[in-house]
Amino acid sequence: MTQIRHEPVAPTRTQAMAPGAAIDAHRHDTHQIAYAGRGVLAVTTGAGTWIAPATRAIWVPAGTVHAHQAHGELELHLIGLDAGDNPLGLAGPTVLSVSPLLRELIIAYTRTPDDHSPERRRLRAVLLDQLRASPQQPLHLPAPTAPRLRELCAILHADPADNRTLAALGRQVGASDRTLSRLFRSDLGMTFPQWRTQLRLYHALVLLAEHAPVTTVAHRCGWSSASAFIDVFRRAFGYTPGTHRLR
């Protein structure tokens, strides 16, 4: 059985991570904010994966066993917060929108983690205020528990461009589309099309972090055209994938 590392206090620091690098599963007694100033960050727990480009941060509540994964050259900013500092009252990992002001606050706060000055305490207070105003983003790719659903999801993870219907995929895993549709709702809390879109956006962010061309990303992730991909990406993240590559 793998030993889960326990760090009583979540660190506050800036850390560079190479593409594909990871921080193994661990937990803290304090909350943590994880933000990618550059690259794309994925945080995985037993409930699934949360992914965040530079316009998003990931809230990890105290006690949550989680691992970090870098996609692209990652500039990781970590902030530890006392268990009582939960401005949004979040009980589970959540992706939060990061405004330009919040981005600068996070970068400034992690730049000098050993500074205990009154100015830094005021910076922390403003950072918490900005977190209270941060909208939550539905960028969670839940992990299935039902065996047939796990098998189906693994097929699409291996090839997100697989455009087969739920009925066709069901024939491969030995379940009807009605059964699988019910499992998606009960096990993952979303429909099959919603989950597949989240999966494709996840893979798209990873490929963009690796500097793949937008047209290549669109085709490898299952969109019929680059324009269709750009439209879905813009609605999900608020900017175009071409802009994402410059961030």
Predicted confidence at residue 54, as pLDDT, reads: 84
Predicted confidence at residue 8, as pLDDT, reads: 86
Type of residue numbered 12: T
pLDDT at 137 over 90: no
Type of residue numbered 10: A
Could you tell me which residues come within 8 angstroms of residue 176 by beta carbon, excluding any fewer than 6 positions away?
167, 170
Predicted confidence at residue 221, as pLDDT, reads: 96
Please give the C-alpha separations between residue 86 and each of 79, 90, 103, 127, in angstroms, as whole numbers: 13, 7, 18, 12
Predicted confidence at residue 6, as pLDDT, reads: 87
> What is the arithmetic mean of pLDDT over 190-219?
93
Which domains, ranges and CATH numbers included, belong to the chain? 5-140 (2.60.120.810), 144-244 (1.10.10.60)
pLDDT at 1 over 70: no
Could you tell me which residues come within 8 angstroms of residue 8 by beta carbon, excluding any fewer than 6 positions away?
28, 29, 30
Predicted confidence at residue 140, as pLDDT, reads: 85
> What is the arithmetic mean of pLDDT over 208-235?
94
Could you tell me which residues come within 8 angstroms of residue 207 by beta carbon, excluding any fewer than 6 positions away?
216, 217, 220, 221
> How would you classify the pairing of strands 13-17 and 66-81?
antiparallel
58/114 Cα distance (integer angstroms): 23
Hey, what are 203's tokens? 């893979």
Mean of the per-residue pLDDT values for the chain?
90
